Amino acid sequence: MNDRPVFSIGEQHAGRDIFNIARDLNINQNSPAEDVLKIIEAIQHKVGELDIAEKDKKRIVNQIEGAKIELEDQKPDKKAIAESIKKTNEILNEAKTTGETLKDIGVLVGKAAAWLGTTAAKLGWIF
């Protein structure tokens, strides 16, 4: 009998799963905050893959943590979430971020924007 675990889930595999789950979610303004939380967590993971300064990553994580706290609340403040995503975008622009990972983040932000509705105009996401 084989004593090794049947599943070996490393950080990289788990990260792909988080992104794939979030990417495949159909989000609209009536989606539950829990689904949007999955998207925000996937953004957080993707930021970890970026080739930017650790200080910038920490600043982004702080913004994303604010959005996560709101999404865990019974009545999340969509304006506060939009502001966190907007600040994340500003940091990414300052860090002159480019590449495939940024495109992945953009897809996720688009889903968050669908949930935020009219508040999405505050995001200012630029590619």
Over residues 6-22, the pLDDT tens digits come to 333 344 445 568 888 89
Where b means 16+ CB within 10 Å and e means fewer, 41-56 reads bbbbbbbebbebeeeb
Look up the pTM and report it: 0.78
Q: How far apart are the first and last CA of the chain?
A: 53
DSSP H or E segment with residue 113 = helix 100-116
| For range 17-34, the mean pLDDT | 89
**Residues with Cβ within 8 Å of residue 44, at least 6 apart in sequence:** 60, 61, 64, 68
Residue 54: predicted pLDDT: 92
> pLDDT tens digits for 59-83?
999 999 999 999 999 999 999 999 9
Q: How far apart are CA 43 and CA 22, in angstroms?
A: 9
